[in-house]
Structure 1
Amino acid sequence: MLRRIFVFSASLRIWHWINFLAIMVLFFTGLYIGTPYFTTSSGYEATYAYEKNITMGFIRFLHFSAGYVLLFSFLFRIFIAFFRKGDRLFIPKFWTIEYWQGLKETVMEYLFIKEHRPMIRNPLARTAYFFVYLMIFFMIATGFGMYGLSDPDGFWASLFGWVVWSLGGEFEAHYWHHIVAWLIILFFILHVYFVSREDFTHKNGEVSSMFSGVKFFEKEPVDIDDVK
């Protein structure tokens, strides 16, 4: 008989989907800002561009608006971490033998060599999420740092301007902003694959859990204390 375990709070699920939408808008508008005519070979003549609402000004407005959503979403994620055990921000315990054993076990599972023990969040997922949070913070810091360049004495320049110059200047900040954006998209692709694979092989509701908050297990997960 499958055991029903509540894993993801409503707050965490709302954050997940808002974060996803903000990142998608940021990624595609960012592509357009970096390469304005990536949609066609030559782009639209100015008159028709206005008719189709794809002027650079409008795209930049969408990009910056989604940037604010991502910022407040990130702050919201930190906020809810203090109110529920299962919503904590986990730092992988790189210094423990158990972490490396669990990581090896998970990799063997994904290589179809050996099935891992039931886990709510396996060590590989914990590690990936940890670095994704760092990448999101990096994108916020570099994004608003570059945004603040238009007003060197303004709030964003004061808060994140140092990030731009610590990377070597505006060009280098743009470069790393672009690279990390692609790393986040790579994570997204792998994330979709792994959660779909987990749901298909173990029938544990991995995909639906981000809608219902619930996962199903035949045996008690080894990390059950993380949510209770």
Structure 2
Amino acid sequence: MREIEAKKVYIFSPGLRIWHWVNFLTIITLFITGLYIGNPFFLGPVGVEATYAYKEGITMDFIRKIHFIAGYVLLASFIFRVIISLFNKRDRLLFPAIWRRDYWMGLKEITLKYIFVMKEGEGQEYVRNACARTVYPLVYLAIFVMIATGFAMYGMSSPGSFWSSLLGWILGFLGGEFMVHMWHHWLAWLIIVFAVLHVYLVIREEALKKNGELSSMFSGYKVFEKEPVDLKDVE
């Protein structure tokens, strides 16, 4: 790899950055309200007791309304993400090229860096490393399934409605309402675990490399000491 001066690369478009933060706020809202819907809780003996919750506006109806609104926002943002990926090269979904040797070498390198066996700066530079290319499509798939199962359950409250007609088959396909609920619940936790790891890895990379990994989702730019081998994917 040819050594060059540090290069500032424009990676994230305004649309992708807006989508990222809308997704972040929406998923947090869905997760918290979803926990309440699955297992209603109140503030305990030092706060609002369940007996007085209705007076304080803490009702299941209110929480469900927030959850459903956030669900519609997540659906809209998912559709928006698909649309911008079709028209902007920087916004394309980058999938793992598992048939290529450099993908497996990249996956080995990034794994060794994450466990502090290989030093940062060694090996190749990537706009999107092999780990990200592997995990992100799975996260998009998980979000898609969350949307589908969520609206399938939503349709149960109004038989014959649009969502009931469109996604009602999912209930039978997954083995009934209970199993649809469980898949929805399990995937929610997987997405939250991913989010926690994602935040850790972003902060870790910023701390070790000072490459704009953290600020790039505000500015759109990252800095590379070497020319990324996959730079053609965003330029």
1:126-145 mapped onto 2 (5 Å cutoff): 126-145=133-152
The amino acid across from 1:199 in the alignment is: E
- Pick from 148, 155, 162 the counterpart of residue 155 of structure 2: 148
Q: Please report the RMSD computed on the Cα atoms of aligned residues, expressed in angstroms.
A: 1.5
Maintained 8 Å contact 2:16/2:91: yes
Cα 1:52–1:126 change in 2 (3 A) is farther
Cα 1:197–1:213 change in 2 (3 A) is same
Distance 1:97 1:15 in 2: 32
State the secondary structure of the residue aligned to 1:81: helix
Maintained 8 Å contact 1:119/1:222: yes
Maintained 8 Å contact 2:42/2:50: no
The Cα of 1:38 is off from its aligned counterpart by 6.0
- Pick from 40, 49, 59 the counterpart of residue 44 of structure 1: 49
The Cα of 1:170 is off from its aligned counterpart by 0.3
Aligned match of 1:62: 66
The Cα of 1:51 is off from its aligned counterpart by 3.4
Aligned match of 1:81: 85
Distance 2:210 2:50 in 1: 52
- Pick from 183, 191, 201 the counterpart of residue 176 of structure 1: 183
State the secondary structure of the residue aligned to 1:2: strand
1:134-153 deviation digits (Å, cap 9, x = unpaired) = 00000000000000112221
State the secondary structure of the residue aligned to 2:153: helix
Maintained 8 Å contact 1:86/1:227: yes
Aligned match of 2:31: 27
Higher relative contact order structure (alpha carbons within 8 Å, sequence separation ≥ 6): 2
Maintained 8 Å contact 1:3/1:217: yes
State the secondary structure of the residue aligned to 1:82: helix
The Cα of 1:54 is off from its aligned counterpart by 1.4
Distance 1:96 1:152 in 2: 49
- Aligned identity (percent) is 57
The amino acid across from 1:151 in the alignment is: S
The Cα of 1:105 is off from its aligned counterpart by 1.1
The Cα of 1:20 is off from its aligned counterpart by 0.5
Q: Which runs of 5+ in 2 are unaligned?
A: none
- Pick from 203, 214, 226 the counterpart of residue 207 of structure 1: 214
**TM-score, normalised relative to structure 1:** 0.95
